[in-house]
Amino acid sequence: MSRLTPTLLALTAGFALGFGVAHAPGAWRPSASATAEAGHSARRSASASGGPHRLLDEVENRIRREYVDNVPETAFDEAAVKGIVARLDPHSAFLDAEQYDEMRATTTGSYSGVGIEVSADDGRVVVVTPIEGSPASRAGVRAGDAILAVDGRPVTADRLEETIARMRGVAGTRVSLAVGRTGEPEPLLFTLERSEVHVHTVRAEALPGDYG
């Protein structure tokens, strides 16, 4: 028998044994933590051998060893993806689900809420303008008003996006706003019913002399 034949037989037997272990009832399967650790080990090995992600793996391993806080596994992937996309060109960015929804609301020109444009100004959340025809506009909210609380919970300028998200919601639901207004000694309370708000970026008006 040639030397090739025993080698082929050994490979076949090894494959059959491995297949039987993997598919036998009650066969051992690695846990999620064991799989993750195996992945880390593989990446460390690739880093040590100069693999394609050597620099990324080296930085990740050093952060795991030396950073003062424990960094979640997902944080590495998210940060890497954001960095890669941002480096493509000035017009590319990675958006999470919340940011994507915000972008869609901005670009489609409609969303469900109370219809207030706000900004952070001197530590306050200030109404830039109530959108024409919106629940806030009909209720009497004015430009320059300061949003003090949403549904009884105080708001702060450093959490502007959270405040906006709390004012938005399903059409037909209600939200209460506490508003500070110049000249009013006490906050004004508004209970608004959310509705579909259409943001018009262009406005038209007829002027005297057949001008528009």
3-state per-residue secondary structure call for the chain: CCCHHHHHHHHHHHHHHHHHHHHCCCCCCCCHHHHHHHHHHHHHHHHHCCCCCHHHHHHHHHHHHHCCCCCCHHHHHHHHHHHHHHCCCCCCCCCCHHHHHHHHHHHHCEEEECCEEEEEECCEEEEEEECCCCHHHHHCCCCCCEEEEECCEECCHHHHHHHHHHHCCCCCCEEEEEEECCCCCCCEEEEEECEEEECCCCCCCCECCCEC
Is residue 86 situated within a structural domain? yes
With residue 82 as reference, give the H or E element that holds it: helix 73-86
* Co-location of 171 and 123 in the same domain: yes
Domain around 82: 39-94
Tokens of 125: 């959340």
* Co-location of 49 and 127 in the same domain: no
87-122, pLDDT tens digit by residue?
A: 898 888 888 877 777 676 666 666 788 988 899 988
Is residue 10 situated within a structural domain? no
* Co-location of 115 and 164 in the same domain: yes
Task: Judge whether residue 40 has pLDDT over 60.
Answer: no
* Co-location of 141 and 179 in the same domain: yes
* Co-location of 85 and 123 in the same domain: no
Task: Judge whether residue 70 has pLDDT over 80.
Answer: yes
* Co-location of 191 and 135 in the same domain: yes
- Could you give the angle at which helices 73-86 and 54-66 cross, rounded to 10 degrees? 140
* Co-location of 130 and 88 in the same domain: no
Residue 7, pLDDT score: 39
* Co-location of 85 and 119 in the same domain: no
With residue 125 as reference, give the H or E element that holds it: strand 124-130
Residue 108, pLDDT score: 61
Residue 22, pLDDT score: 40
Tokens of 176: 């209460």
Is residue 72 situated within a structural domain? yes
Is residue 170 situated within a structural domain? yes
For residue 115, the domain's CATH number is 2.30.42.10
Residue type, 36: A
* Co-location of 184 and 137 in the same domain: yes
Residue range 29-33: mean pLDDT, rounded: 46
Neighbours of 125 (CB within 10 A): 24
For the chain, how many structural domains are there in total? 2
* Co-location of 117 and 184 in the same domain: yes
Query: For the chain, what is the largest distance between any 2 Cα atoms, rounded to a whole number of angstroms?
Result: 107
Alpha-carbon distance of 160 to 150, in angstroms, equals 12
Is residue 100 situated within a structural domain? no
* Co-location of 136 and 174 in the same domain: yes
Is residue 206 situated within a structural domain? no
Is residue 60 situated within a structural domain? yes
* Co-location of 46 and 73 in the same domain: yes
169-204, pLDDT tens digit by residue?
A: 888 999 999 999 999 999 999 999 999 887 766 778
Is residue 133 situated within a structural domain? yes
Calculate the alpha carbon distances from 102 to 19, 107, 110, 161 in Å.
Answer: 50, 9, 11, 10
